[in-house]
Structure 1
Amino acid sequence: MARHDAQNWHVCSKMIGLLCLAASILLQHGVSGQRVKVEPEVLSYPGQTVNLRCAFTDATGIQLTMVTWIYEPKDGDRINIAVFHPNFDPNYPDSPVKGRVSFTPSPPNLASPSIEISNVRMTDEGKYICEYATYPRGNEQGITYLVMLAKPQNSASIVTVEAGTKPVVVARCESVDGRPAAQISWVTTANGNATTVSKPGANNTVTMISEYRMVPTAADNGKDLSCVVAHRTQVKPESFPLKLAVQYAPEVTVVGYDNNWYVGRTHVVLTCLASGNPAPLTAQWKTMSGEMPDTVQITDNVLKVLKVDDTVNTTFVCEVKNRIGTGKDQVTVFVRDTRLPEKGATTGSIIGAIIGIIILLVIIGTAIAMYRKHRNNKLNGDGPPKYKPPPPKKTTSSASRQLNTSYAPVTEDRPLPDQYYTTRSAEPVTDLDAYHDDDENGEDVREHYHSAAPSGWDDPGNNEVPPPYMRTDSDPQDYHQGPNVKRGESFVSPAMFV
């Protein structure tokens, strides 16, 4: 068991040692890469002067011996272009940039040995390496990419084609002498695809050519097609709107025949409609029989029959030509003895409109009738009562019931002919026991209003004008009531003076 543990410990110690070694190598490489400070990328146009900066950030414990600038083109070998040693003058070996490269500032120093290249060319693009020779760590370096820019000349054009069955180039787009290469795309609703190729341009530039291919049809003529060019030197992509140009033979249609040409009908017209690319110039009318009837007049693409007879009982053909081909259409005319019954195209709509108007008039008439009835009811007072009449009160047979205790009593000296009675008051009440018995004394005037009182008379308690036979405090005239009649002796209601 102890031997097994010892073996495991030995394996673990080896693995730990390897991990530590790898970490130290990576750390040393990372620190080394970080010590030499450069710009990752520098952009320039031809003819400008570029500054490639370089500096050693932390030289603690390190002796800087020498610095060398190395140029590595995209396709080629490394070339030393500038060397500096503190004990010697700067040296510029033979290179493509000799005479145009120099240390800056001058004289240089090892802490920041930057260089500048004047009158840069497109061929100067590539990788520039600032490499330090140090002790005791050895060489350390930083890399800068010089990217040369050249704004391309962009253009797009349409290619006129004929309708067919095979794919052909219908549009072309170019981005000439750009650096780096431009990106070309197409925007269209046409059914096709693009192919893009590149070729070397002048002075280390790139020319991009894109072609749009499709099977052209007559329906594609005039469709929108746009070429979009994107490049690093442009603020936004440049768009070139185009329209497809597809040439095709004329497409012809004859209109105007309604299948109702009868003998004696006058001024019927056939029209020949044609479309094509290029546009057709003229239309030619002819008949299948070979002879044109005498009653026919032709003006350009319009054929007019002045009067229908048996001679126009034939087939009329319209033929149109252009540079691509010929198109035609025909109509066979059947001459009838009598005209067909004309079908009103708007019969259904007219019937519907009449029905709608009738319904509208009915609704309006009903509304007017209801309004007038309601107004008449209000004027005639035929509406429902405005109040709920109080129930009749029970009285004893010996007690005399008066209309109002404040009225002057009736004297026997007053002749009876002055009293008037009416039988149009409320119906007699037979079941008096169903009402309250506790209100016999001190009854209010409202007790004298019966449920059968004429409609529109309100309770005086509601501050309305009492009926003419009632007395108010402001009325000095005395009114008399009828004689007291016991309920057991008569069912006639109290009298009402007129």
Structure 2
Amino acid sequence: MARDYTARCLAVSPMGSCWLVAGMILLAAQGIMAQKVRVEEELEAYPTESIDLRCQFIDGGGRTKLTQVSWIWEPIDGQRDNIAVFHPIYGQSFPNLSFKDRVVFLHNSLENPSIRISNLKMADAGRYTCEYATYPSGNEQGTTTLVMLAKPKNSAKVLTVRAGSKSVVVAQCEAADGKPAATITWLASVEGNHSTSMTNGPDGTVTVRSEYRLDPTPADNGREVTCKVNQRTQDRPWMYPVTLSVEYPPSVSIEGYDDNWYIGRSDAVLTCLANANPPPTTVTWTMASGSLPDTVMVDGNKLMVRKVDNAVNATFICEVKNKHGASRQQVTAIVIVGPCVSADAVKISDAVKISILLLQSEERARFQDVGVPHMVWPAMSPDLNPIEHIWDQ
């Protein structure tokens, strides 16, 4: 490959820069071919697990003499610590106390000095170099990068807030002690925004926190927002819905008055309905003109009239309270003498009466045609006057 590139380079330009590039490629290729220490480039592991760091010396010509092999750990740039040494005469040595009793050689051999690290910790992440002291070529080495992973502990919660025009935090989500850092997003049907912060742990883990904010209204109470956490160690995104808790003072309405409170009626009921969070602590019925009469009974949010009379010809007020405030609504009842009849009912009644009169008239006509005496004709109802009813229509 290097020869082909050199040929193309010479064909394009004979300048010295072309020779420089070709020379660098040839040196890199020779370096790869000269690599004698075989290791794995990168490994991943989790805390408390064990991992094998493999190393093998490859000497095609068999002319290199191996004198010693060492494993060197680089947790950060610029820091190098021997954690394991093998010498064919002096044996094994483990000079780093943080790896004491956690590192062993898998083979008692200079050609294959692979090691096993047990009970891994997050702090064990870094570069592990298998380095040979050889004769006559000097030191030979290969490096494996150990990536320590940690699955985050995910959680989400809702914060109870009060309705208002100010933007507040209504939900929180956290992906704690993960590595690499998690990504948090929100799925919501309510318009809001979120902010995210990160905190680095002493062992290399990262805690990610996100807050969802909005201007809460009573309509937002009971709606859902969902926290979504993505992280490398998870097979799928972690999702957790939370139900918003927005508190607000009561809003009140009164139902039940039908404009038909007549003297003697016994089933008149008013119902006080309140929309509030938290639920109302008190519901109070009063009358604008004074105390409630004896004919009225209150049962929770219902006001029931045992028997309608002129005493309930009044304005009734319902007041509802919770910890955020109070609200009231009123309705004025007008007592009438008799029950109201709908226009449709009147039309139907009149139609029935007219039909009866027509039938009676037809029957009289038949009696007259056959000569039946007048005194035995069927009498018309004295309460019916078809002409007046027809004229009224």
| TM-score bin, normalised by smaller chain | 0.5 to 0.7
SS class of match (1:23): helix
Which of 1 and 2 has greater Rg? Answer: 1
Residue in structure 2 matched with residue 211 of structure 1 by the alignment: 211
Q: Structure 1 residues 244 and 227 mapped into 2: Cα distance closer, same or farther (>3 Å)?
A: same
SS class of match (1:41): strand
Unaligned runs of 5+ in 1: 1-7, 348-498
Q: CA deviation at 1:105?
A: 0.6
Q: Kindly indicate whether residue 79 of structure 2 is the aligned counterpart of residue 77 of structure 1.
A: yes
Q: Structure 1 residues 263 and 207 mapped into 2: Cα distance closer, same or farther (>3 Å)?
A: same
SS class of match (2:28): helix
Q: Distance in 1 between matches of 2:13 and 2:233?
A: 59
Residue in structure 2 matched with residue 143 of structure 1 by the alignment: 143
Q: Distance in 2 between matches of 1:127 and 1:173?
A: 34
Counterpart of 1:172 in structure 2: which amino acid? Answer: Q
Residue in structure 2 matched with residue 59 of structure 1 by the alignment: 60
Q: Is the 8 A contact 2:42 2:147 kept in 1?
A: no
Q: Is the 8 A contact 1:150 1:205 kept in 2?
A: yes
Residue in structure 1 matched with residue 331 of structure 2 by the alignment: 331
Q: Distance in 1 between matches of 2:344 and 2:140?
A: 98
Q: Kindly indicate whether residue 103 of structure 2 is the aligned counterpart of residue 105 of structure 1.
A: no
Within-5 A mapping of 1:11-410: 12-31=14-33, 36-46=38-48, 48-57=49-58, 59-60=60-61, 63=64, 67-74=69-76, 77-84=79-86, 89=91, 92-94=94-96, 96-98=98-100, 100-106=102-108, 108-110=109-111, 112-132=112-132, 141-201=141-201, 205-229=205-229, 235-258=235-258, 260-261=259-260, 264=263, 266=265, 267-292=267-292, 295-305=295-305, 312-333=312-333, 342=342
Q: Distance in 1 between matches of 2:101 and 2:23?
A: 46
Higher relative contact order (CA 8 A, sep 6+): 2
Q: Is the 8 A contact 1:288 1:316 kept in 2?
A: yes
Residue in structure 2 matched with residue 427 of structure 1 by the alignment: none
Q: CA deviation at 1:41?
A: 1.0
Q: CA deviation at 1:224?
A: 2.9
Q: Distance in 1 between matches of 2:189 and 2:274?
A: 25
Q: CA deviation at 1:52?
A: 0.5
SS class of match (2:219): helix
Q: CA RMSD in A?
A: 4.0
Q: Is the 8 A contact 1:97 1:124 kept in 2?
A: no
Q: Is the 8 A contact 2:36 2:59 kept in 1?
A: no
Residue in structure 2 matched with residue 455 of structure 1 by the alignment: none
Q: Structure 1 residues 86 and 217 mapped into 2: Cα distance closer, same or farther (>3 Å)?
A: same
Q: Structure 1 residues 293 and 343 mapped into 2: Cα distance closer, same or farther (>3 Å)?
A: farther
Residue in structure 1 matched with residue 350 of structure 2 by the alignment: none
Q: Distance in 2 between matches of 1:179 and 1:45?
A: 11
SS class of match (2:99): coil
Q: Percent identity?
A: 45
Deviations along 1:330-387, one digit per CA (max 9) or x if unpaired, are: 2244556787662659x9xxxxxxxxxxxxxxxxxxxxxxxxxxxxxxxxxxxxxxxx
SS class of match (1:279): coil
Q: Distance in 1 between matches of 2:11 and 2:292?
A: 115
Deviations along 1:89-135, one digit per CA (max 9) or x if unpaired, are: 555444643554343311x223x332222343332222212345678
TM-score, with structure 1 as normaliser: 0.55
Q: Distance in 1 between matches of 2:282 and 2:320?
A: 6
Counterpart of 1:23 in structure 2: which amino acid? Answer: I
Q: Structure 1 residues 11 and 286 mapped into 2: Cα distance closer, same or farther (>3 Å)?
A: same
Q: Structure 1 residues 124 and 254 mapped into 2: Cα distance closer, same or farther (>3 Å)?
A: same
Q: Is the 8 A contact 1:38 1:55 kept in 2?
A: no
Deviations along 1:20-56, one digit per CA (max 9) or x if unpaired, are: 213213323444569633251131422x432101224
Q: Distance in 2 between matches of 1:306 and 1:129?
A: 95
Counterpart of 1:80 in structure 2: which amino acid? Answer: N
Q: Is the 8 A contact 1:79 1:95 kept in 2?
A: no
Q: Distance in 2 between matches of 1:250 and 1:15?
A: 83
Q: Is the 8 A contact 1:149 1:178 kept in 2?
A: yes
Q: Distance in 2 between matches of 1:62 and 1:171?
A: 68
Q: Structure 1 residues 329 and 36 mapped into 2: Cα distance closer, same or farther (>3 Å)?
A: same
Q: CA deviation at 1:273?
A: 1.0
SS class of match (1:298): strand
Q: Is the 8 A contact 1:32 1:140 kept in 2?
A: no
Q: Is the 8 A contact 1:62 1:137 kept in 2?
A: no
Q: Structure 1 residues 77 and 250 mapped into 2: Cα distance closer, same or farther (>3 Å)?
A: same
Counterpart of 2:165 in structure 1: which amino acid? Answer: T
Q: Is the 8 A contact 1:224 1:241 kept in 2?
A: yes
Within-5 A mapping of 1:475-494: none
> How many residue pairs align between the two structures?
335
Counterpart of 2:30 in structure 1: which amino acid? Answer: Q
Larger displacement relative to structure 2 (230-239 or 327-336): 230-239
Q: Distance in 2 between matches of 1:133 and 1:21?
A: 29
Q: Distance in 2 between matches of 1:204 and 1:38?
A: 23
TM-score, with structure 2 as normaliser: 0.68
Unaligned runs of 5+ in 2: 1-9, 348-393
Q: Is the 8 A contact 2:158 2:172 kept in 1?
A: yes
Q: Is the 8 A contact 1:44 1:146 kept in 2?
A: no
Q: Distance in 1 between matches of 2:342 and 2:231?
A: 69
Q: Is the 8 A contact 1:176 1:201 kept in 2?
A: no
Higher strand share: 2
Q: CA deviation at 1:17?
A: 1.8
Counterpart of 1:104 in structure 2: which amino acid? Answer: L
Counterpart of 2:145 in structure 1: which amino acid? Answer: Y
